[in-house]
Amino acid sequence: MPTDENRHPLRFGLKTTPMHLSYDEILRVWEEADDLPELDDAWLWDHLMPLAGPPGGAVLEGWTLLAALAARTTRLRLGLLVTANTLRAPAHLGKIATTVDAISGGRLVMGLGVGGTRQPDGPNPAVAEFAAYGFPLPSPAEGLARLTETITILRRMWTEEVFDHDGPFTTLRGTRNGPGPARPGGPPLLLGGWGDRTLRIVAEHADIWNVPGPPHNSTEWIAERARVLDAHCAAIGRDPAEITRSAQIIVDHSDPAATRAHVHALAAAGIWHIVLALPRPYPDNAARRLVEEIVVPVRESGIV
């Protein structure tokens, strides 16, 4: 549990999952949120096929959509929760991200995760998605190694004028990335994930750690994963307070009190960035309802 010495201001964002929705429906929510200072950021996901509902339903590609929304907003920080690392070559991803950062005037947060990998058992939607779009599905170990290499390449694209790279999966020669990022060092890096090996990468590289919260995972489980992250930080001599703890929760429009209870529990566990994921269809004034029914009452209760 956080002490008075390490408490941070509680920040809120929203997430629109571009599945079975039109661009206009998503744009409406983002433009409304952009006018609400109580919301700090807005997020998309990174899938190419629906994960629920009719398999032939509409899905908008994440980075293309993010660029369009960056051009139509002025204040919100923005990103993908999270980019599937293996869907794009690392330097190509760096160029895409830098372009969105330029369009947004430096508002990008670089959300990144391992992406789909081969799993020994249980349902795995990545199998169909990767097969449909011609991507090989790596093992978990390869996925983690590729993630680490991508982080290295992104950092170099954002800090070096020209460089070569000889890595386990990628060879680059004379890589340049102009224009450079809006902020020195590039956008902050958000890493999503919860496995022990992933959390070691988070400890080494991330500015922000994000994990799915209720209803997918309990606050107690998140607190346990946070302790693992703390141990990794201690092992490498990093102050764990340098990493913002972030969780996304699915909003229950019919029971905002339940959503507020989840926020209170997460804040008590040291999670100080809450992403409110909107279930579809989006009601009128969806972003304003988040502020009025969740953000303001939580803050008025004493969490700041």
CA distance 280 to 295: 20
Quick one: which of 21, 10, 32 has its CA closest to 282? 21
Share of the chain above pLDDT 90, in %: 92
Whether residue 90 is preceded by a cis peptide bond, meaning omega within 30 degrees of 0, is: no
Each residue's pLDDT tens digit, 165-205: 999 999 999 999 999 999 999 999 999 999 999 999 999 99
Left if phi > 0, otherwise alpha if psi is -120 to 50, otherwise beta: which for 122?
Answer: left
CA distance 77 to 85: 21
For residue 162, CA distances in Å to 177, 223, 235 come to: 8, 41, 33
For residue 212, CA distances in Å to 105, 153, 235, 246 come to: 28, 27, 25, 9
At residue 6, the pLDDT reads: 47
Is beta strand 208-212 parallel, antiparallel or unpaired with respect to 189-192? Answer: parallel
Each residue's pLDDT tens digit, 54-79: 988 999 999 999 999 999 999 999 99
**What is this structure's pTM?**
0.95
pLDDT at 3 over 80: no
At residue 5, the pLDDT reads: 40
pLDDT at 14 over 60: yes
Which residue has better confidence, 23 or 120? 23
Which residue has better confidence, 253 or 36? 36
Is residue 30 helix, strand or coil?
Answer: helix
Residue 112: its H or E element: strand 110-113
pLDDT grade, residue 7 (50/70/90)? low
At residue 87, the pLDDT reads: 96
191: Cα separation from own chain's centroid:
7
Tokens read off for 37: 């200072």
The 10 Å Cβ neighbour count of residue 22 is 11
Contact 111, 80 (CB under 8 A): yes
Q: Which residue has the tokens 């449909």?
A: 132
222: Cα separation from own chain's centroid:
16
Residue 78 buriedness (CB in 10 A; 0-12 / 13-18 / 19+): buried
Average pLDDT, the chain: 95
Tokens read off for 250: 């699915």
